[in-house]
Amino acid sequence: MIVATEIIARAVIRDGGRILVARERGKTWVFLPGGHVEPGEPVESALLRELAEELGTAGRILGFAGVVEHGYTDQGNAHHEVNLIFDAELDDTPVSQEEHLEFDWLPIDQINAADLRPTALKALITNGTRSFWHGWKADD
**Tens digits of per-residue pLDDT, 47-58?**
999 999 999 999
User: Is 39 inside a domain boundary?
Assistant: yes
Q: Under DSSP, is residue 55 helix (H, G, I), strand (E, B) or coil?
A: helix
User: Is 139 inside a domain boundary?
Assistant: no
The range of the structural domain enclosing residue 23 comes to 2-134
Q: Per-residue pLDDT averaged across 74-84, rounded?
A: 89
Contacts of 110 (CB under 8 A, 6+ apart): none
User: Is 130 inside a domain boundary?
Assistant: yes
DSSP class per residue in 80-111: EEEEEEEEEEESS-----STTEEEEEEEGGGG
How far is residue 137 from each of residues 26, 54, 71, 72, 118, measured CA to CA in Å?
27, 30, 8, 10, 11
Predicted confidence band of residue 74 (pLDDT cuts 50, 70, 90): confident
Q: What whole-number percentage of the chain has pLDDT above 90?
A: 73
**Tens digits of per-residue pLDDT, 115-129?**
999 998 998 888 765
The pTM of the full predicted model, rounded to 2 decimals, is: 0.88
* Residue 70 CB-density burial (10 A; 0-12 exposed, 13-18 middle, 19+ buried): buried
User: Is 120 inside a domain boundary?
Assistant: yes
User: Is 140 inside a domain boundary?
Assistant: no
What is the structure's pLDDT at 36? 96
**Tens digits of per-residue pLDDT, 23-49?**
999 999 999 999 999 999 999 999 999
Supply φ then ψ for residue 83, to 5 degrees.
-95, 120
Q: For the chain, how many structural domains are there in total?
A: 1
